[in-house]
Amino acid sequence: MRPAVVRILAYRPSPQSLRRNLGLLAATLLLAVLSTCSPHKDVLTQIRAQGVLKVATINSPTTYYFGAKGALGYDYDLAQGFADQLGVKLDMIVAQSPQEAIEMVEDGRANLAAAGLAVSPSRELHVRFSQPLLTVKPQLVYRMGDPRPSSLADLHGKLTVVSNSVHAERLESLKKQYPNLSWDETDDQETEQLLYEVANGQLQYTIANSDIIAINQRYYPRLRVAFDLADAQDLAWALPRDGDDSLFDAVQSYIAGISGKTLARLRDRYFGHVERINYFGAVTLASQVQSRLPKYRSAFMAAGKKYGVDWRLLAAMGYQESQWDPEAVSPTGVRGLMMLTLDTANFLNVQDREDPTQSIFGGAQYYTQLYDQLPDPIKEPDRTWMALAAYNIGLGHLLDARVLTRETGGNANHWLDVRNSLPLLTQARWYSRTRHGYARGFETVTYVGNVRTFYDMLTWITNGAPAKAKPEPAEPPL
């Protein structure tokens, strides 16, 4: 048998193929050199290049929300100031919870989180915090008239807190000290809703930060603080733990550069106790009718005649807004007897918001425009009450509440049904379905109720004809 012959064939590339391969090799080497030699762009440089600062937040009166006056919130104002300093656009990304806001920072969907975040050891494992922007106390609240507990051992009812919150974390750490302590955690209710349920007698206890409690006590006076659960707690912004210090250092420098007076004014704007003169007792009204109303009655009557509105309704709105004080200024920048925003005043051609006559005519015109923009099927008296709600919360949010009313089986043309839907605008599972998002619906319910009360009283005091509108059904007990 003849031995097998193995042939080894040498590959000889053509001149064209050789040149092509050498070209590819050169390009690859050049790309490798450029990638190693070109400087890496830090996060701050990237943000400036993109022109956008992405900030994760939550809808809350202490962080970020849209009202009739536009975007508001303590964290929002600070974040806008930081974006302005960087020369970029601010993009507020609304998370469903503080925990989700932190997760957005971790996975890169947001550059930082400004969501009223309490600094805690467990959170510091995932993000790093800026220097404190606010200090609060975690407090347990109950309803006035119920026994006041002195400690967690004295609870005799249901305690509910938001799940995955610092308060839930704190309760877990106190379990050893109070072995009989029990509580529920909720995913579909937010702190404001829990506070409302406590004030309304639907829930015995909840835990919230002192800033949120102070704001809600203005609207629900039966909310009472039983005790502090801990010492002062720092609230700060959260940034990623990615080894890049550029954005973190810029945040720290920005916060350090805010003057004490500026920060104090901002804190007072959202958390101060001397704020908008919204809800005064009826007893005070009688004295103000004698001392203040005569100065502006003719203007109210003239505006009412011009725009076809009962002057006493306009006067009730003015009393609710400013207690008939033409120099009143709210913490959100609205001012004057009818509390007009600068944008609204400019739109209405009101030159001086603190001129009482201009303010009254501007307020009457604005109310009438809202009244006329409501859908035709809304009839009186519901049309008046919904126009008042739009004056307070904004037409967009009022229309959102009508959509939710239909979704929950109510009549969107009836104020009573819409009134019951307005508080839903504080709950993520409801406002996430709407066009305009979060709004303080509870406040608007109170606003309309107070204006109606003042309107009825003014009708009686001025010995005029009884108000044509039927009485509003009683509010839920607080």
Q: Mean pLDDT in each 10-residue stretch from start to end of the chain (478 residues)? A: 37 52 56 54 94 94 72 90 96 92 96 94 94 93 94 93 91 92 89 89 94 76 90 94 94 90 71 42 69 93 95 94 86 82 88 92 96 94 93 95 95 91 91 92 88 80 49 38
Residue whose entry in the numeric block shows the structure tokens 């005519």? 361
Query: In the prediction, which pLDDT does 273 show?
Result: 36
| 133-175 residue pLDDT tens | 989 999 999 999 999 999 999 999 999 999 888 999 999 999 9
Q: How far apart are CA 60 and CA 263, in angstroms?
A: 19
Two tokens at 473? Answer: 């059904």
Q: Longest C-alpha distance within the chain, in Å?
A: 133
User: Do 449 and 472 form a contact (C-beta atoms < 8 A)?
Assistant: yes
Cβ count near 79 (within 10 Å)? 23
**256-123-134-255 Cα dihedral, nearest 10 degrees:** 10
Positions marked catalytic: 321
pTM greater than the 0.85 cutoff:
no
Query: In the prediction, which pLDDT does 20 show?
Result: 55
Q: Is 113 helix (H, G, I), strand (E, B) or coil?
A: strand
Query: In the prediction, which pLDDT does 281 show?
Result: 54
| 415-443 residue pLDDT tens | 988 998 999 998 888 999 999 999 989 88
Sheet containing strand 206-209, edge to edge, reads 206-209, 138-143, 223-228
User: Do 371 and 389 form a contact (C-beta atoms < 8 A)?
Assistant: no
User: Do 136 and 261 form a contact (C-beta atoms < 8 A)?
Assistant: no
* DSSP string over 361-409: HHHHHHHHHHHHHS-TT--TTHHHHHHHHHHHH-HHHHHHHHHHHHHTT
Q: Is 218 helix (H, G, I), strand (E, B) or coil?
A: coil
Q: Is 233 helix (H, G, I), strand (E, B) or coil?
A: strand
Q: How far apart are CA 414 and CA 380, in angstroms?
A: 9
| 68-125 residue pLDDT tens | 557 878 899 999 999 999 999 999 999 988 999 999 999 999 999 999 999 988 899 9
Query: In the prediction, which pLDDT does 366 show?
Result: 95
Query: In the prediction, which pLDDT does 275 show?
Result: 37
Query: In the prediction, which pLDDT does 473 show?
Result: 41
